[in-house]
Chains A and B, each alone.
Chain A
């Protein structure tokens, strides 16, 4: 069966420090991968999505970046965090467009 792992679950980082959130999917190949952010009191904002290795689409201009070094690995990064980067980050995958989306458990990021 397919599983999705996302870590770390919680993170407290100072302003200006780097960030790396990692997401891996098991039990499938060539999934579509997604990073979402859910800020307090707001809906889910699509940050990045990828339909294949090395293919990253960015939805929102920001100081975050994403990479897909392997088929089932999706990494969210920042060189210098801002206070506004605080939020709940969700990784997700789907086997092609139109199929069920599966979410990771999320990562709580607090920038202080």
Chain B
């Protein structure tokens, strides 16, 4: 079985301040984890992914995430928010084996608001 919990439904930051979007997961197998971003009325764009290589993953637009197995977390961070970062962010988990093979599970999403 697998699941994803995004701990905050809304996050609000000021432009230029750090961003932290939290994600916890559960998985019966070694998971692959992703962060996607969705701007209003648009499709989903991949920010970054973790697939059992380096635990600190760097993505596009200055985002990065750290896989912490002991904490079952995969939090998304950015040192300095930009107005264009305002969007909804989704954490995704999938397994390469077991009864959940091929299944993608999305978190409920976190809406990021950036204030000038």
Question: Which residues from chain A sit less than 8 Å from chain B, CB to CB?
Answer: 32, 34, 36, 42-46, 49, 51, 57, 59, 90, 92, 94, 96-101, 103-106
Chain A residue at smallest Cβ distance from B91: A43
Residues of A within 8 A of B94 (CB): 94, 97-98, 101
Interface residues on B, range: 20 to 34
Q: Are A43 and B103 in contact (CB under 8 A)?
A: no
Q: Give the residues from 60 to 92 in chain B that come closer than 8 angstroms, CB to CB, to chain A.
A: 90, 92
Identify the 7 closest CB pairs spanning chains A and B, nearest first. A43-B108, A98-B32, A44-B106, A51-B102, A43-B109, A97-B96, A103-B44
- Determine how close the nearest CB of chain A comes to the CB of B92; give it in whole angstroms: 7
Q: Is the interface of B mostly helix, strand, loop or mixed?
A: strand
Contact A90 B44 (CB under 8 A): yes
Query: Are A46 and B101 in contact, with the CB atoms below 8 A?
Result: no
Q: How far is the CA of A46 from the CA of B48 in the complex (A)?
A: 21
Q: In the bound complex, what is the Cα–Cα distance between A49 and B107 (angstroms)?
A: 17
Given contacts A43-B90, A44-B90, A103-B44, contact A97 B95 (CB under 8 A): yes
Contact of B102 among A44, A97, A104 (CB under 8 A): A97
Task: List, in ascending order, chain B residues with CB within 8 A of A90's CB.
Answer: 43-44
The yes or no answer to B56 lying at the interface (CB within 8 A) is: no
